[in-house]
Amino acid sequence: MPETTDTYASAVRDLADALADVWQACEAGYDHQRGLGTVGNLPEALSYALGLAAVTLGLDRDANGTLVDDQEAQLVAAEALVCHRPGSWEADHLRALTFPPDLIEHP
């Protein structure tokens, strides 16, 4: 079990580092005088990353493995992403943030 715990802790650190990198990229592309961003922002990036993770993991498919689209794709993907803690307040936010996977190019 310790190996799993170490892998999880390492993955969380990697996620935190990636979020910090995205924030720094957004900050570098933000004009504070004009109040305008030219690159993006962390909320949009996080939303897209959640949708992209769902696509990468194949979580935007129904029980038969068929790719779903429209709002159903977002619901299927979001539920799969929160399956470990579906009733938590974090899960509610994650559902709302998940970018529609059908709008992401699939490999």
Task: Say if residue 32 is in the same domain as residue 75.
Answer: no
Contact 100, 73 (CB under 8 A): yes
What's the pLDDT at 4?
A: 87
Task: Say if residue 12 is in the same domain as residue 22.
Answer: yes
Task: Say if residue 17 is in the same domain as residue 45.
Answer: no
Examine the pLDDT at 35 and tell me if it is beyond 80: no
| Domain count along the chain | 2
37-95 pLDDT, tens digit each = 888 899 999 999 999 999 999 999 988 989 998 888 999 999 999 999 999 999 999 99
Task: Say if residue 53 is in the same domain as residue 97.
Answer: yes
- Structure token pair of residue 21: 């990198």
Task: Say if residue 18 is in the same domain as residue 56.
Answer: no
**What's the N-to-C CA distance of the chain in angstroms?**
34
Task: Say if residue 33 is in the same domain as residue 48.
Answer: no
Task: Say if residue 46 is in the same domain as residue 84.
Answer: yes
Tell me the angle at which helices 89-97 and 42-57 cross, rounded to the nearest 10 degrees.
90
Q: In whole angstroms, how far apart are CA 29 and each of 23, 36, 49, 101?
A: 10, 9, 19, 26
Examine the pLDDT at 33 and tell me if it is beyond 70: yes
Domain residues for 34?
A: 1-40
Query: Which residue is it, tokens 């979020």?
Result: 19
Task: Say if residue 23 is in the same domain as residue 61.
Answer: no
